[in-house]
Amino acid sequence: MPFLIARPAKAAQKINPHIKTVPVSEGIGNAAISIHPNVAQKNIKEQVSAVLADDLSKYRVALPETFHVEIAFREHYLAYRGSFYPGAKQTGAKTVEYESNDYMDVLRFLFFVL
């Protein structure tokens, strides 16, 4: 599996080595070669079944005390618009930052700003 496709899976396994992944595509330059959708679906179902039959407590990921989110937009007006979200700050022409101790607040921020 090429580096770019494997990177998210490796990042997840760095957080928790028990996390399972199912490779379904291989990146080649600007293209990707994917396995047949039926095969991908079968492999994913098998992996999910195996995980659900396992001890789920080992898949838990401890959340950090504080979340700091920084979004860099392509367009300056999107950063300006996002800065109106309560608690968000525009820190650059195209950048907005948000900090919270509550994960649900971060998800709300992402939902409304993106």
Predicted local distance difference test score (pLDDT) of residue 101: 98
Tens of pLDDT along the chain (114 residues) come to 333 445 677 888 888 888 888 888 888 889 989 999 999 999 999 999 999 999 999 989 889 999 999 999 999 999 999 999 999 999 999 999 999 999 999 999 999 999
**Same domain? 42 vs 80:** no
Domain boundary (59, 87, 103) is at 59
**Same domain? 54 vs 71:** no
Q: Which residues constitute the domain of residue 26? A: 3-59
**Same domain? 8 vs 55:** yes
**Same domain? 53 vs 79:** no
Strand partners, 98: 69
Predicted local distance difference test score (pLDDT) of residue 26: 85
Domain boundary (21, 37, 59) is at 59
Nearest CA to 23 out of 34, 31, 12 is that of 34
Per-residue tokens: 20: 């399972």
Predicted local distance difference test score (pLDDT) of residue 1: 35
Backbone CA torsion sign across 85, 91, 95, 99: negative
Predicted local distance difference test score (pLDDT) of residue 7: 67
Distances in whole angstroms, Cα of residue 69 to Cα of each of 5, 11, 56, 78, 105: 24, 18, 28, 15, 11
Predicted local distance difference test score (pLDDT) of residue 6: 54
Which residues lie closer than 8 Å to 76 by C-beta, 6 or more apart? 93, 94
Separation between Cα atoms, residue 72 and residue 96, nearest integer Å: 7
